[in-house]
Structure 1
């Protein structure tokens, strides 16, 4: 009887450690996909940065350079870049360049 209680407790702990976080991540990904609209700056799972030119049912057209658009799955969007994120990345890049120039 004690081993049965231990097994049930172990399954409960595994549920909260493994399954619940995964469900939360799926809900966040679905919300992110639903919120996509033209003009947003995004990063894909493969690391491609671009602006959304057009949103269709299951795909988006991502402008990666002037007049160059890629057709990608909505599920491939890993992150929506905000202005604050972009500013932080620009500042970090400038610091790295300045440090590299000092070494030369």
Structure 2
């Protein structure tokens, strides 16, 4: 009389077979948004930088990561020699070139 019968609750799980997928949908959506907002643009920038570094030639005017402006005087496989003033040359890694400037930007 005081104790009611207990019934197993299986109707909820059987009625919604996609319940687990719907709960995972926001997490999957978050990863998709992160890919398009952060990862994809970074990969695009890396690809553009790599193409720029590979296309460097003698006589190009460049800016290095340290802020030095100069003209490429020698090109090696890993390093560049950049003339930053008349008779003053520094050796930098190819990957440290940040930007290639238009011809005539660096004046002596």
TM-score, normalization by structure 1: 0.78
* Equivalent position SS for 1:36: coil
Query: Deviating runs (4+, > 4 A) in structure 1?
Result: none
Matches for 1:12-23 after TM superposition, within 5 Å: 12-23=32-43
> How far is 1:38 from its partner?
0.5
Query: Gapped runs of 5+ residues in structure 1?
Result: 91-104
Q: CA RMSD in A?
A: 1.8
For the pair 1:35 / 2:82, whether they are aligned, the reply is no
Of structures 1 and 2, the larger Rg is shown by 2
TM-score (norm 2): 0.75
Residue in structure 2 matched with residue 11 of structure 1 by the alignment: 31
1:49 equivalent in structure 2: 69
d(CA) in 1 for partners of 2:34 and 2:23?
A: 16
| Aligned counterpart, 1:67 | 87
Equivalent residue, structure 2, for 1:77: 97
CA–CA distance in structure 1, aligned partners of residues 102 and 40 of structure 2:
27
Task: Say which SS state the counterpart of residue 70 (structure 2) adopts.
Answer: strand
Structure that is richer in helix per residue: 1
Gaps of 5+ in 2: 1-19
